[in-house]
Structure 1
Amino acid sequence: MITTKEFTAFLQDNTRQILPVENGNVLKLKAIDKETNENIANISYICYVDFAIGVTPLSTYNKTELLGLYDKSKQQFYYHRIYSMFEFNPEFNKVLEELGATHFKSLNRMVKKAIDKRLNSIYEETFVKRAIECRKDPEEEFKKAFMDKVITSFFETGTTVYGSDNDYLTKLDAYDYVKLVNDKEYVSELVDNYLSSKGSFVSDKTNLDINIEKHIYNQAKLKFERNIELNDEDEMILSLLKNISKVKNARTVKVVYEQGHNVVDLDLDVDQLRNCNYRNLVFRNYAFSSYAIKTRKEENYFRQMFRSEDNPFSDILVKGIKKVTYGRKTLYEVE
């Protein structure tokens, strides 16, 4: 069982390179500057080795993984989670907490914030603003994306802290982390490298080009969303699904459905309703598939009653839904 005192003493001892732990060893290796081939003062790689092969401690290792970095001048340990260390992890988590260790994610976040700042400065330039003003996109595509996003959000409880727009694929390696820990100004070089490098999926464009195009598209979309006009059936869909989503554990809701002179009570599957995206609803002439009906018997009855030339697939028209209840609670009702 490793203790915080043992691990701290190992990190601060200039002469000691190996710390034996259960089912492996922790190594401390000097960080080398690639340009000068000299040691980077006070910075060490801390590695985990599951077991060694050979007679000398550093001869050959079957598996070596980066555990973190140690900055001796600031007595700060930066760690990288190794999920293969099943035996070592539980006891080491406590050590990390007591040390006040910093996860590599904080270094990644620092780089991503710097990229954000640089890009936002570029987004304010005249040529980008003109491109946004001149952008022409099919409004129907924007509308479908907007409606799907809103409908999905009704049923999602999780939140994204940093947002997908800031998820830049920076691909930092261990040496980048060393340079960042040693000199925070190195972040500017990493930003330059990222923006000038080719994108992962578009070989002929740089990350700068890709992000500018993405920003222009997003701004054009936001401009549309601020002025969006929804028809009556759009409003019905949003009101209906929003109210159903408020009952977190609902698997089935009861529906009063009316079409022409016929009125029926239906049991509808909530998952089927929420998984039917806006594109499909519009394609079906603003209707849910009758597959949302809970039982085969009810579905067959519904199909026989409501199949017509105007509704050949016997879909559940949104405008035909008059009331939705869950237990004794009314979720939706057309006045």
Structure 2
Amino acid sequence: MISQTDLSNTAAYDVKGMDGLRQSAKSRDPAALKEAATQFEAMFINMMMKSMRDATPQDGVLDSQQSKMYTSMLDQQTSQNLAKRGTGLADVLMRQLSNTTQFSAEDAAASPRASSMASALAAFRQQQAAATGSTESTGAADGKSLSDKANASQAPHVRAFQEKLGVHAEEASRATGIPAKFMLGQAALETGWGKREIISRDGSSSHNLFGIKASADWKGKVVDAVTTEYVNGKAQRKVEKFRAYDSYADSFKDYAQLITTNKRYEKVLANAGDASSFAHGLQKAGYATDPNYAAKLTKIIKGSLVG
């Protein structure tokens, strides 16, 4: 029998913990359903805290991208602790679930249209948005994750890419404030929708989704790969060293750290609310040498992805 996963005593951003919750929810144990409802409540609280942070001036002498990242992590954990005590939302979700017996907690999280839990959560979020007048949208703002939003109207390879990496993009979004859709689009551009991933000599994936090179201060694994660089507008093929990760989740985490701690990307974060501004900010900051990088990224974000 699968043991109950209690996330109340772990970090709110612990991906392994969330995976454990999904596994325990498969047992259809009422306690597991309760834990899933509590996590939805924590997500909702965190969304409200993020809205309040955004409405508060953050241009003091002690404010920086690093402080914002750690503040975001603190807010996530605070949301976890408040949800553990309970605000009433989890109880409402559980009452909604009690009206149906054919879905497990995992079904409820993955199929919002058939889920009373997701419907109730969406209703609460709509009420909060109406009360604050906020039009902000994140990857899961309407009760659906990016992977849930992938639909049949998309090309199969686009839908598969979004479903595979959507959850990691949303996690990075909570740490950086960059819309998950933007990061997913950049990963798609860098890897050709996953078809041109950087591969190690033994044929294994480097899991490097953002083409981040291994600088002198990089202490992790590396892999050599041929890349195209533009020098004075002319394309040149070079062999460069790139960072290698154990998982796609690690790739998103490292990207988030790079964007939030490197001063050259400060203006990128400041303009992360618009796809075109975000893409042009990356190019201006020197993220890529391709003169058409911003145009390509903007086209992918606006034309291929949903969210």
Query: Fold match, TM over 0.5?
Result: no
Give the TM-score, by structure 2 length.
0.25
The structure that is helix-richer by fraction is: 2
Name which one, 1 or 2, has greater alpha-carbon Rg.
Answer: 1
Instruction: Between the two structures, name the one with larger relative contact order (CA 8 Å, sep ≥ 6).
Output: 2
Normalising by the residue count of structure 1, what TM-score does the alignment of the two structures yield?
A: 0.23
Which protein is richer in strand relative to its size?
Answer: 1
